Structure 1
């Protein structure tokens, strides 16, 4: 089996990461990668920031700064917040010449092999300014679900909405100006040409797709698949390297595959590999298992359009898993930076130990439906289900420190195998579920807390406690780092003795921080 490639697509570089971001793809991807490595799997984890979406332009206008400055500052904020939450990618995409080359090379190959078509496409247009309006530059109603929003990926239904299909389109910068529809020649990827291959691919993935992605695929395949623009007649983005589309840029949402190839190449180089072919780890002959982690609203760009590009090129492995998530709310309202209704990862981990933050975000994570964060609930849940029981278990375990190696029974080895199976069921990428992992952690810790330890079964207690901490380590990173000699999760459970050792305790507040 080849390497496990874990990809968490980067956020738009227009601000810091809030808890909604962390509770969704980023914590899940980090936990998945940590667990895979602990079981001995060769694993590369890549993320980063997306620098070319025109939401950067609209945010910069609102803040009164230059887009170039905003995206650089945002990248630094994102990287710092990931580190504060204990999320450690191997590769982190930044906006530099190498990234630009990777993207241009990818699309030149698509173009050179004849997969792109020159088509007349309708766009909202402002006659007063001469601007074509795409994505963040234009708002209107979604023609699929009627929700209000910008063009591009609809946050509500997940469909990709061409700018020219918005209902009642209007400029986000000049809402007072009249908008007309005007056609412009752009290069597109005709997704309909890949219908049969896409249908076969998603049929294979159907057993593990989460409901919203499955619904989106079903709805898309029930109609003609769209011509997906590769170039746009706007001035923000990577200049398109094609003679047919002078002055146009590459559509930022089509950079998905090139971005992913690049982040995995960076991940490989971080562990000492020599820079080289960006596609090496994705090659079919390398046999990788590719797992994507992203919000459901990004499904079209990565699962549909991205897969179609891979199918068109051939020779590269297709993603094996799309682990999607829904929205995470703050005090029963959507996170909103513009309204100041937001808590960043750095803000939270400055007040509470990050193990508690990671545990609670996992326990309330929006795997299948919208969920909610409140600080009061976090304090209560972490205290009752994690901090208090763990500290009791640690104290109970340390009562046997002076007894030397303790015997482990066959019964305990069988119990350990069952315990490991339950964590594996939640943490393997095929049916990955962060909330299921947190539930398993809670239940197993509760079992250890209820154990009336005697001299006769102290070895069994310590044996199962050690394995519990190893399986919980992908979530409780600091507790495990202090309490384990190594992070390995054994494939077989054959121990006949166990050596007790001192164990750390959990606190509810960061020293010198918070309330």
Structure 2
């Protein structure tokens, strides 16, 4: 009997081109996986899209003197062209700036609120006196309190992968002008992850022997260390508004709403195909399997926080039959990193090979073959031009 297989791939920030690390780590593996399941007769739905609301987009827009909309639309179009060139076979590659995604994200916020998993908290947040505004987490950098890395972001350290709050950084500074921000009070909604700790731990502890060791070990330890409330709103004007009166200057935090994209994209796909309830075959059918192909830096968001969000909704969203439950992730195959010529890829140092440039110079099949051969499935791997040429000749 044919299985229903949902293939979800990481949502790239629409603030720059894709590079070889993205292709090898997050996009070619799920495409091969989806092609295999289609070939053996399974019902495959493969979805993703551009993350339109991340602060990397507003940072680029500020630098270029254009609107965030202009930035994300430009790179969304480039993503579509790259995927078409290299043959990644999405059923839908959408973006998070759609009416559908706004509605679904706001409905999930409301469900979490009504079920008692959101709370309001007044916190201290960094404020730029030179710019006259609160600074989102990625507008701040400093020294990581966990490992000492001096260029940690306000939301996560790229070196040790720890999730951070901007106030935890040592010697914080604004990425815009290098000034030292000051702390001011502001009120935000929080997802009460501590209330969800036991249910998420139970989910991770049941039948996960087939998960990759790096994923399950990290996730279990992350939860066993104790989940704590995490802000799901921020003081910005670009993003999804809260479905409440009196919060016009706040938007949903992108870490909360971007993962909802897998769900909203499935709903959008069904509507586009004239069968608005069809998405339930992958989200409510108990035997359906959902796979999330990501890079290792996204493990906590997909293996811990996204299941927590689904649990917080009550898992009956858009379904009247209360005996049915939204499916939690079946597997989260997170890949390691692809390096280049022995060094870590770095967009800030421009140490990368951009997908459009590579595909302009070489046959897409040759690129697919090589990136598949060196895919960093269980360990970091290395792209070298000598090896690329040798393996294709």
Q: Which SS does the other structure have where 1:123 is aligned?
A: strand
User: Paired residue for 2:303?
Assistant: 303
Q: Confirm or deny that 1:174 pairs with 2:177.
A: yes
Q: Which residue in the other structure is 2:294 paired with? A: 294
What per-residue deviation string (whole Å, max 9, x for no partner) do you get for residues 71-120 of structure 1?
10000001111111110100111222222222222222222333211122
- Which sections of structure 2, spanning at least 5 residues, go unmatched? 316-324
1:217 counterpart residue number: 219
Distance 2:349 2:65 in 1: 16
| Whole-angstrom CA distance in 1 between matches of 2:246 and 2:378 | 43
Show CA shifts across 1:366-419 (max 9, x none).
112222112221010222xxxxxxxxxxxxxxxxxxxxxxxxxxxxxxxxxxxx
> Which piece of structure 1 moves more, 16-25 or 55-64?
55-64
Number of the residue aligned with 1:11: 12
Change (3 A) 1:210 1:120: farther
In structure 1, runs of 5+ residues without a counterpart are: 384-515
Distance 1:8 1:189, change over 3 A: same
CA distance in 1, matches of 2:221, 2:147: 12
- Count of aligned residue pairs for this structure pair: 380
Q: Judging by fraction of residues, say which structure has more helix.
A: 1
Does residue 1:106 correspond to 2:108, yes or no?
A: yes
TM-score (norm 2): 0.89
Structure of larger gyration radius: 1
Deviation digits for residues 6-63 of structure 1, max 9, x if unmatched? 0002100101111110001111111110001101111100111000011111122334
Q: How does 1:261-340 map to 2 (within 5 A)?
A: 261-268=263-270, 272-274=273-275, 276-277=276-277, 280-285=280-285, 287-313=287-313, 314=315, 315-340=325-350
- Residues 289 and 47 of structure 1, relative CA distance in 2, 3 Å threshold: same
Contact 1:231 1:245 in 2 (8 A): no
Q: Deviations over 1:460-504 (max 9, x none)?
A: xxxxxxxxxxxxxxxxxxxxxxxxxxxxxxxxxxxxxxxxxxxxx
SS of 2:361's equivalent in the other structure is coil
SS of residue paired to 1:153: coil
Distance, in Å, in 2 between the alignment partners of 1:119 and 1:375 is 52
| Aligned partner of residue 392 in structure 2, secondary structure | helix
Q: Distance in 2 between matches of 1:240 and 1:278?
A: 28
Q: Which of residues 228, 231, 254 is equivalent to 1:229? A: 231
The 10-residue stretch of structure 1 (255-264 or 189-198) with the greater mean CA deviation from structure 2: 255-264
Pairwise mapping of residues 56-455 of structure 1 onto structure 2 (< 5 A)?
56-94=57-95, 95-147=97-149, 148-176=151-179, 178-204=180-206, 206-243=208-245, 245-268=247-270, 272-274=273-275, 276-277=276-277, 280-285=280-285, 287-313=287-313, 314=315, 315-383=325-393
8 Å contact 1:18–1:345 — kept in the other structure? yes
Q: TM-score under structure 1 normalisation?
A: 0.69
Deviation at 1:188, TM superposition (A): 0.7
Change (3 A) 1:278 1:185: farther
Contact preservation (8 Å) 2:239, 2:251:
yes
Deviation at 1:260, TM superposition (A): 0.7
Segments ≥4 residues shifted beyond 4 Å: none
Q: CA RMSD in A?
A: 2.2
User: Structure 1 residues 163 and 338, CA, compared in 2 at 3 Å: closer, same or farther?
Assistant: closer
Q: Is residue 23 of structure 1 aligned with residue 33 of structure 2?
A: no
What secondary structure does 1:372 align onto?
strand
Q: Is the 8 A contact 1:7 1:47 kept in 2?
A: yes
Distance, in Å, in 2 between the alignment partners of 1:76 and 1:353 is 21
Change in CA separation of 1:122 and 1:279 when aligned onto 2, cut-off 3 Å: farther
Matches within 5 A, 1:460-499: none
Q: 1:125 to 1:47 in 2, by over 3 A?
A: same
